[in-house]
């Protein structure tokens, strides 16, 4: 019998809540996080623990059938991938921030300014509508440090509690988008696995209803 392959974040903020959701759906996963692949004992499902940024491509290629992933990552890297379900956890926003002392009047202030971010496509798309052209610098982590070390005039990154911005003396000046965890589906999912997905989605919907 076929098993549906689900990608779950390997480490990070989504990992725990994603596994909790599967657990609440009554699915027991055999192995811990040490292994990169694990099977459910009571549902036709296999979990692959992957890096966030790699998941959109794996969905596209059909290496995994479905994924629990931040909508912000899909917007950045997986515009073509379908969202089957919004999951209501890992809520955050993707925002622009500048050093606290900067006088900020509006988006035009960032024309030709250096923006450090892990979300270059999202930033570019956002600025396009205002006809403003920033100088985008791709950084993969600890983005908030960039202004303090003279690498950038502003940053664009995820904001959740706001504590990382606060600690780095930055202020949020624009919310570019709001995000939460979603269940994403590969465009190449087989009919067999689609049937398993339907069963899983039914359970997820019941769990989410009970949580509200
Ligand atoms: C994420 C994100 C922000 C921070 C936001 O970083 O990149 O820096 O969390 O959360 P907060 O508003 O609650 O402080 P993370 O700690 O996951 O590390 P990374 O940037 O090095 O990947
Ligand atoms: Mg960070």
Ligand 1, from 76, 122, 147, 160: best to mutate by most atoms within 8 Å of Cβ? Answer: 160
- Mutating to test ligand 1, I would choose from 164, 166, 175, 178 the residue with most ligand atoms within 8 A of its C-beta, which is 164
Give pLDDT tens digits along the chain (212 positions). 899 999 999 988 899 999 999 999 999 998 765 789 999 999 999 999 999 999 999 999 999 999 999 999 999 997 889 999 999 999 999 999 999 999 999 999 999 999 999 999 999 999 999 999 999 999 999 999 999 999 999 999 999 999 999 999 999 999 999 999 999 999 999 999 999 999 999 999 999 999 98
> What is the ipTM metric for this complex?
0.96
- Position 176 scores a pLDDT of 97
**Which residue's alpha carbon is at the smallest distance from atom 17 of ligand 1?**
12
Closest-approaching ligand to the CA atom of 168 = 1
Per-residue confidence (pLDDT) for residue 212, from 0 to 100: 83
Q: Taking the CA atoms of the chain, what radius of gyration do you get in angstroms?
A: 19
Question: What does the pLDDT read at residue 33?
Answer: 59
- What is the CATH topology of the domain spanning 4-90+180-211? D-Maltodextrin-Binding Protein; domain 2 (3.40.190)
Q: Which residues line ligand 1 (CB under 6 A)?
A: 12-13, 141-142, 144, 157-164
The predicted structure's pLDDT at residue 10: 93
Give the CATH class of 92-178.
Answer: alpha beta
Atom of ligand 1 nearest to the CA of 144: 8
| Ligand 2 centroid to residue 142 C-alpha, Å | 5
* Domain extent listing, the chain: 4-90+180-211, 92-178
**Contacting residues for 167 by C-beta, under 8 A, at least 6 apart:** 144
Q: Do the domains spanning 4-90+180-211 and 92-178 agree at the CATH topology level?
A: yes
In whole angstroms, give the CA distance from residue 165 to residue 94.
12
CA of 158 to the centre of ligand 2 (A): 7
Q: How close is the Cα of 94 to the center of ligand 1, in Å?
A: 11
Q: Which pTM does this prediction carry? A: 0.93
């Amino acid at each position: 019998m076929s098993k549906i392959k689900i990608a779950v974040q390997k480490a990070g903020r989504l990992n725990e809540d994603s596994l909790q959701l599967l657990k609440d759906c009554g699915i027991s996963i055999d192995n811990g996080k040490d292994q990169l692949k694990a099977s459910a004992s009571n549902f036709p499902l296999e979990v692959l623990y992957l890096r966030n940024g790699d998941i959109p491509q794996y969905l596209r290629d059909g290496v995994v059938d479905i994924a629990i992933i931040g909508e912000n990552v899909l917007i950045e890297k997986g515009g073509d991938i379908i969202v089957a379900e919004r999951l209501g956890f890992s809520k955050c926003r993707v925002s622009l921030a500048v050093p606290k002392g900067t006088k900020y009047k509006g988006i035009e202030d960032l024309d030709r300014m250096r923006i450090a971010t892990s979300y270059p496509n999202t930033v570019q798309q956002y600025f396009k509508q205002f006809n403003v052209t920033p100088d985008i610098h791709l950084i993969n982590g600890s983005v908030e440090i960039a202004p303090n070390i003279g690498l950038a005039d502003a940053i664009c990154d995820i904001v959740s509690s706001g504590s990382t911005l606060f600690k780095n003396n930055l202020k949020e000046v624009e919310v570019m988008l709001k995000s939460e965890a979603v269940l994403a589906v590969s465009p190449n999912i087989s009919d067999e696995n689609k049937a398993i997905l339907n069963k899983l989605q039914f359970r997820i919907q019941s769990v989410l209803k009970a949580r509200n």
